[in-house]
Amino acid sequence: MDRMPQDNRENQLDGLWAEYRRACPDPEAGPGFIPGLWQRIEARRAANLSIFRRVAQVCVGATVALTVLMGVVLIPHMQRIPIYSASYVDVLTANHPNSYVDILTGDIK
């Protein structure tokens, strides 16, 4: 079978594109096109809102849970830990029981 020259093929292909353009004219949109479009817009809007709502609910839930945890567990636990059970002087006295007496009586060595 003879092969057509490349240029001829290209011309045929160009002709085919033009024929295809004529064979596929712009279709008219159906009567439901715009109402259907608005339904999809509203559905997307509702979906976005529900996502935001869900995120907000999760955030609120997490905050409440954290607050309860702090109130019930952490705060009482922290209150039980004695941070300052004695004054500075008391601690010094406990560590050096005779120092003051020795100073006062002049028995410092």
Partner 1 sequence: MLVDFELIERARSGDDSAFNQVVQAYRKRILGTIARLIGRPEDVEDVGQEVFLRLYYSLDQLRTSEVFEPWLYRLTVNAAYDYLRRQKRRQESRMSDLTEQQVMLADAAAGGKRSDEEQRRTKVRELVQALLGKVSEEDRILLMLKEVEGLSLKDLEKIYRVNENALKVRLFRARQRVLKAYEAQED
Interface residue list for partner 1 (CB under 8 A): 1, 3-4, 6, 9-10, 12-14, 16-17, 19-30, 32-34, 36-37, 40-41, 44
Task: Give whole-number Cα distances, 21 to 11, 16, 81, 100, 102, in Å.
Answer: 16, 9, 84, 109, 113
* Residue 109 structure tokens: 């060595």
Least separation in angstroms between residue 34's CB and partner 1 is 6
Least separation in angstroms between residue 1's CB and partner 1 is 6
29 vs 91, beta carbon nearer partner 1: 29
Least separation in angstroms between residue 35's CB and partner 1 is 10
Task: Give whole-number Cα distances, 56 to 46, 72, 96, in Å.
Answer: 15, 24, 60
